[in-house]
Amino acid sequence: MMTSPDLPAELKAALDGKLRGFSRSDAAGRAAAISKNYREGGGSTTVRSETDALAYALARMPATYAAVTASLNALVENGPDFAPKTLLDVGAGPGTATWAAAEAFPSLTDFTLLDANAALRALALDLARNSTRLRDIGYQLGEARAGLAKADTADLVVASYMIGEIGDAEQRSLAELLWQKTHDTLLVVEPGTPAGYARIIALRAHLITLGAHVVAPCPHDSQCPLQAPDWCHFTQRLQRSRAHKQVKGAELPYEDEKFSYVALTRAAVVGRRRSRVLAQPAISKVEVTAKLCTPEGLTFTKVPRRAKADYATARRWRWGDAVS
Ligand SMILES: C[S@@+](CC[C@H](N)C(=O)[O-])C[C@H]1O[C@@H](n2cnc3c(N)ncnc32)[C@H](O)[C@@H]1O
């Protein structure tokens, strides 16, 4: 079962409820300043007050939620029996990945979140307060590595849009700690930029040397076959609510979030792996041309129209799909 990329009704209602007490133009002003700091590589350090946290959540939570959900959907597709009970959400911010994981896995009963930002932690607890599943989340305030060292292992560990806020030199030790605390599966999601991809690919390569196996997006544990300036990323469309549009000063009723991710497991993935579609396929009257990452490496497959059934199947391929 695929989970919807749009925020669940409970979370939408909680965000709308919070927004009632705030001026939308204040929130829009703060969101613009926070986004500018992000684009300049400053991370979420400018999120300090309750208004900042809410502005951040309104502007970015729908998109990071959509990216985490798309990644979880890919992981579920490749491991449909995975039924985690415990979650560890590192750099949890307003709780985005926790909400996404709760939707994707009804089996989750125990949620631990870690973050150094007090304003985002307070917002996360507020948003979760009236949720049936999330009202008892445990949210530790503090530096991720110190928090991780003390944390119990979890079936599913997620770091969403987080490792980019850690200095290059510390990313390796953070990756090791994330893996140490992973009982079954680790999901790391980053912005779909060359820099975000570079962080994912470095973490992937390092953790494979420590025994990790890739569940998604790669159909293999070998070196990534893409050559710079190419980079592996995906895109997820999400609907914008009225508040979301207002806070972003945007007109379009949707946006497309670009993201890169890797899901790693302790157990090797068995059976023939399906190839990953790495860009939107080109469909013509003559053929479908698709860029695929296959178990053997990168290929540009052409499916001619005369191969009727295959052509009909390939016409439905979408960027990010796993196909055989
Ligand atoms: C861009 S936000 C992402 C929040 C959330 N995971 C999401 O996907 O929406 C990055 C989060 O990582 C947290 N963070 C960054 N560096 C950290 C560190 N060293 N220790 C703990 N939290 C950290 C920030 O406080 C912030 O909440």
The pLDDT tens digits for 148-201 are 999 999 999 999 999 999 998 899 999 999 999 999 999 999 999 999 999 999
CA–CA distance, 260 with 129 (Å, rounded to integer): 31
Cα dihedral 179, 183, 185, 186 sign: negative
DSSP-derived pairing of the beta strands 154-160 and 86-90: parallel
Ligand 1 center to 312 CA (angstroms):
43
CB atoms within 10 A of CB 18: 19
CA–CA distance, 217 with 223 (Å, rounded to integer): 13
pTM comes to 0.96
CATH architecture of 275-323: Beta Barrel (2.40)
Give CA 269 to chain center in angstroms. Answer: 21
Pocket of ligand 1 (CB under 6 A): 44, 61, 64, 91-93, 96-97, 115-117, 120, 143-144, 160-162, 165-166
CA–CA distance, 14 with 19 (Å, rounded to integer): 9
What are the DSSP calls for 137-185, one per residue?
-EEEES-HHHHHHHSPPEEEEEEES-GGGS-HHHHHHHHHHHHHTEEEE
CATH for the stretch 9-265: 3.40.50.150
Per-position pLDDT tens, the chain of length 324: 799 999 999 999 999 888 887 777 877 888 888 777 777 766 778 888 888 899 899 889 999 999 999 999 999 998 889 999 999 999 999 999 999 999 999 999 999 999 999 999 999 999 999 999 999 999 999 999 999 999 999 999 999 999 999 998 899 999 999 999 999 999 999 999 999 999 999 999 999 999 999 999 999 999 999 999 999 999 999 999 888 888 888 889 999 999 999 999 999 888 889 999 999 999 999 999 999 999 999 999 999 999 999 999 999 999 999 999
User: % helix / strand / coil in the chain, to the nearest 5?
Assistant: 40, 25, 35
Structure tokens at 24: 């939308």
Q: Where are the domains of the chain?
A: 9-265, 275-323
What atom in ligand 1 is closest to the CA of residue 93? 27
Tally the residues of the chain.
324
